[in-house]
């Protein structure tokens, strides 16, 4: 019984009469042994299990830095922990598109909804860099810093047009006297209202109290004539008589100081650079003062993507050819280096990516690569790194296999996937997948990411409008499809992920349709007759392989037998049930076409993966007569079959 090329990739040609292959939720792997039973086998793609849910909308980005994992879900920045919990770190603008993140050890720069943000990784504070100006620096004004403040007190920044800014005292000095009452143990005596006493405390100077009430010559209340400075909180601070005939006593004082530094609790918006902006007391017992502020940097347009290269943060301005470079390791300083125009490209920049300490810029027709030249403006064009291939989808570039992959376009057309070979684009898509993409209503919304698992490097390309997911396997050079089975309509939708992060030793992916972050893994036995990751969060994974044509110069053939050789894995215990509650084996489903994939037979099932036991073969007899056979095998039971090969018995006729 001869073999035929049952195992392979998706390759449905524009003409189904030429080739109609499909591989969905399986992927081919080459067997490296020369003595293997088959040169290729089909392995099951990963399943999904919820790691945690974040909110109510799509997970728009995942990013790791120094062992910390961050996600943007809808309009919220979350930090995710290894135990499957999370904490909100603030809110961001949400345009439902992917968000971009880049980090140094201290700062996480975010572009979301066109607005750039800085997340301080030490203080865990999120600050927008708004076009209307956020407070980026605030120091007490020397002429009027206010007094009576303690560390931790807060003040509101008051400026016409500004909203929401709050500063908190982080350091104070000079301790002004803010409260003084007679000490019960030694209030002194012989005083009359109006008498004054000096406050004596080491390090303090100038403090004067005046008796405002007395009983029998003993003071019961003071007012502060001069708060002095340099005081600390004390009980029973010594008083000496300044005026009057009283005898020296003691007072209880509460000292607070002049602020010398603030931190930004809320940067607000709408601020302009100013000296001596008014402060009003938000908490504490201080008196209002003033602060000198520097308004946040104003970008000339929306920031669509960010990156970091050689410690310089990068910000790409949407609908332009302009990009900004920060001061080293400081996403608050965009003045030091300023911006540059990517002049060698006549069109606006569509996308940006940092790879190998170089910055790739794509227009929709061409690309160019910059490097850190060490000049006054840090980055310049690499000689010879001009590429006559642009970008068809801004979010399609991905780092994988030590190079860059992207969905390309140029002045002659679009819809080819390339990988960089130095600065030369190398086509890795094929005619069949390119034809499939050409039928989509749009491909400029495609989102790409890369991940590596089991020795395979996968480039995943998700098409939102087309509701489809395609995957390129670098190890084999083959494409396959992945899909989420929509049982109600018996169709595939796109796989339920649009981004990826490898964190806590797991492949984590974000759902484009919900707030779920999933752990993604190939199916593994749970050791008790079942399988983990054999479904998509409880939804069955339907796996389909449509094989190549079996034809002999269009002569009629009768196929009397088909055997599929596989490793089904042990069936679940307890076994699956049919609709009537009776036990049954997991099922392989076969249908076939005798006209090259244009029409199909009914579905024919075979039990596979008997409960508690291995089964390796499924057999179908008397499949009929035709000129051009195409077989399609599918399964959706939670037994991850690995398809090794198939065999056919052909009775060849003499018809034409």
Q: Does domain 11-45+542-652 have CATH number 1.10.540?
A: no
Give the pLDDT confidence score for residue 617 in this predicted structure: 85
Give the pLDDT confidence score for residue 344 in this predicted structure: 95
Q: Residue 484 in 3-state DSSP?
A: strand
Cα–Cα nearest to 595, from 6, 23, 2, 16 = 16
Q: Is residue 309 within a helix (H) or strand (E), and if so which, with residue range?
A: strand 303-309
Q: Which residue has the tokens 């050791």?
A: 527
Query: What's the half-sphere exposure (Cβ side, CA atoms, 13 Å) at 163?
Result: 4
Cα–Cα nearest to 40, from 656, 572, 545 = 545
pTM for the structure as a whole? 0.80
- Residue 499, classified by CB atoms within 10 Å of its CB into exposed (0-12), middle (13-18) or buried (19+), is buried
Look at residue 654 and tell me whether its pLDDT is greater than 60.
no
Q: Which residue has the tokens 């840090």?
A: 378
Q: Dihedral of CA 435/422/367/95: which sign?
A: positive
pLDDT, mean of residues 355-359: 98
Banded model confidence at residue 655, pLDDT cuts 50, 70, 90: very low
Look at residue 61 and tell me whether its pLDDT is greater than 60.
yes
The 10s digit of each residue's pLDDT in 213-258 is 999 999 999 998 888 888 888 888 898 998 988 898 998 888 888 8
Banded model confidence at residue 653, pLDDT cuts 50, 70, 90: low
In sequence order, the 6+-apart residues with CB closer than 8 A to the CB of 240 are: 197, 198, 200, 248
What gap in Å lies between CA 29 and CA 22, rounded to an integer? 15
Cα–Cα nearest to 178, from 214, 230, 240, 247 = 230
**Residue 434: φ, ψ to 5°:** -65, -35
Give bridge partners of residue 582 from the DSSP assignment: none
pLDDT, mean of residues 329-357: 95
pLDDT, the chain, mean: 91
**Residue 470: φ, ψ to 5°:** -120, 150
What gap in Å lies between CA 72 and CA 88, rounded to an integer? 10
Look at residue 1 and tell me whether its pLDDT is greater than 70.
no
18 compared with 529, residue with greater pLDDT: 18
- Residue 265, classified by CB atoms within 10 Å of its CB into exposed (0-12), middle (13-18) or buried (19+), is middle
Give percent of the chain with pLDDT exceeding 70.
97
Q: What is the largest distance, in Å, between two alpha-carbon atoms of the chain?
A: 136
Q: From start to end of 45-134, where are the E strands?
A: 47-53, 59-65, 68-73, 76-80, 86-91, 100-103, 107-112, 115-120, 125-128
Banded model confidence at residue 129, pLDDT cuts 50, 70, 90: confident
Q: Which residue has the tokens 């792997």?
A: 29
* Structural contact between residues 586 and 637, judged by C-beta atoms closer than 8 angstroms: yes
In sequence order, the 6+-apart residues with CB closer than 8 A to the CB of 36 are: none
Give the pLDDT confidence score for residue 433 in this predicted structure: 98
The 10s digit of each residue's pLDDT in 540-593 is 999 999 999 998 888 888 999 999 998 876 667 777 887 788 888 888 999 999
pLDDT, mean of residues 178-193: 89
Give the pLDDT confidence score for residue 652 in this predicted structure: 63
The 10s digit of each residue's pLDDT in 450-501 is 999 999 999 999 999 999 999 999 999 999 999 999 999 999 999 999 999 9
Specify the DSSP class assigned to residue 45. P
* Structural contact between residues 271 and 162, judged by C-beta atoms closer than 8 angstroms: yes
Give the pLDDT confidence score for residue 131 in this predicted structure: 57
Q: Which of 147-151, 333-337, 533-537 has the highest mean pLDDT?
A: 533-537
Give the pLDDT confidence score for residue 88 in this predicted structure: 96
Look at residue 105 and tell me whether its pLDDT is greater than 50.
yes
Give the pLDDT confidence score for residue 56 in this predicted structure: 78
What gap in Å lies between CA 610 and CA 575, rounded to an integer? 8
What gap in Å lies between CA 273 and CA 335, rounded to an integer? 14
Sequence ranges of the domains in the chain: 11-45+542-652, 130-296
User: What are the C-alpha distances in Å from 253 to residues 197, 206, 223, 590?
Assistant: 13, 14, 12, 90
What gap in Å lies between CA 566 and CA 618, rounded to an integer? 8
Give the pLDDT confidence score for residue 656 in this predicted structure: 46
């Amino acid at each position: 019984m001869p073999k035929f090329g049952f195992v392979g990739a998706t390759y449905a040609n524009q003409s189904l009469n030429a080739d109609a292959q499909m591989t969905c939720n399986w992927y081919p792997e080459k067997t490296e042994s020369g003595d293997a039973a088959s040169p290729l086998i089909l392995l099951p793609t990963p399943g999904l299990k919820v790691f945690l849910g974040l909110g109510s909308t799509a997970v728009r980005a995942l990013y790791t830095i120094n062992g910390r994992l961050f996600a943007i879900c809808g309009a919220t920045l979350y930090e995710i922990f290894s135990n499957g919990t999370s904490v909100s770190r603030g809110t961001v603008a949400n345009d439902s598109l992917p968000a971009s993140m880049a980090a140094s050890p201290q700062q996480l720069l975010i572009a979301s909804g066109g607005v750039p943000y800085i997340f301080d990784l030490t203080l865990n504070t999120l600050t927008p860099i708004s076009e209307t100006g956020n407070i980026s620096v605030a120091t007490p004004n020397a002429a009027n810093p206010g007094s009576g403040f303690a560390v931790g007190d807060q003040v509101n920044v008051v400026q016409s047009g500004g909203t929401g800014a709050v500063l908190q005292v982080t350091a104070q000095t000079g301790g002004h006297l803010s409260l003084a009452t007679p000490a019960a143990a030694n209030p002194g005596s012989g005083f009359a209202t109006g008498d004054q006493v000096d406050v004596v405390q080491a390090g303090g100077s100038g403090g004067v109290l005046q008796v405002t009430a007395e009983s029998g010559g003993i003071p019961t209340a003071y007012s502060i004539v001069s708060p002095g400075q340099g005081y600390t909180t004390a009980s029973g601070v010594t008083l000496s008589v300044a005026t009057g005939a009283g005898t020296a006593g003691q007072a209880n004082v509460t000292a607070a100081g002049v602020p010398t530094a603030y931190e930004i609790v809320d940067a607000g918006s709408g601020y302009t650079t100013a000296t001596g902006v008014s402060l009003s007391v938000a908490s504490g017992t201080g008196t209002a003062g003033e602060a000198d502020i520097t308004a946040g940097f104003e970008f000339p347009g929306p920031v669509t993507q960010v990156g970091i290269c050689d410690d310089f943060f990068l910000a790409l301005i949407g609908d332009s050819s302009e990009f900004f470079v920060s001061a080293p390791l400081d996403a608050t300083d965009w003045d030091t280096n300023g911006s540059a125009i990517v002049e060698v490209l006549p069109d606006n920049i569509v996308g940006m990516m940092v790879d190998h300490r170089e910055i790739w810029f794509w227009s929709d027709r061409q690309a160019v690569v910059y490097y850190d030249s060490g000049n006054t403006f840090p980055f310049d064009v690499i000689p010879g790194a001009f590429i006559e291939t642009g970008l068809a989808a801004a979010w399609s570039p991905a780092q994988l296999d030590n190079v860059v992959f992207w969905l390309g376009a140029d002045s002659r057309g679009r819809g080819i996937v390339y990988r960089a070979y130095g600065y030369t684009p190398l086509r890795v898509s094929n005619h069949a997948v390119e034809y499939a993409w050409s039928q989509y209503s749009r491909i400029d919304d495609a989102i790409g990411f890369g991940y590596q698992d089991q020795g395979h490097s996968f480039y995943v390309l998700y098409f939102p409008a087309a509701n489809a997911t395609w995957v390129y396997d670098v190890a084999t050079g083959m494409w396959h499809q992945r899909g989420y089975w929509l049982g109600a309509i018996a169709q595939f939708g796109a796989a339920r992920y649009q981004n990826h992060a490898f964190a806590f030793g797991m492949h984590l992916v974000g759902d484009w349709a919900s707030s779920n972050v999933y752990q993604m893994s190939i199916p593994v036995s749970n050791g008790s007759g079942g399988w983990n990751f054999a479904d998509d969060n409880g939804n069955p994974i339907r796996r389909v392989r449509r094989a190549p044509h079996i034809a002999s110069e269009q002569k009629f053939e009768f196929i009397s037998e088909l055997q599929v050789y596989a490793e089904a894995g042990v069936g679940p215990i307890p076994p699956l049930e049919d609709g009537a509650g009776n036990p049954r084996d997991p099922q392989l489903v076969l249908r076939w076409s005798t006209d090259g994939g244009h029409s199909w037979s009914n579905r024919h099932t075979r039990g596979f993966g008997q409960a508690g036991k291995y089964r390796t073969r499924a057999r179908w007899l008397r499949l009929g007569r035709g000129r051009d056979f195409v077989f399609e095998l599918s399964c959706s039971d939670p037994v991850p079959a690995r398809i090794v090969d198939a065999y056919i018995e052909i009775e060849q006729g003499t018809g034409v």
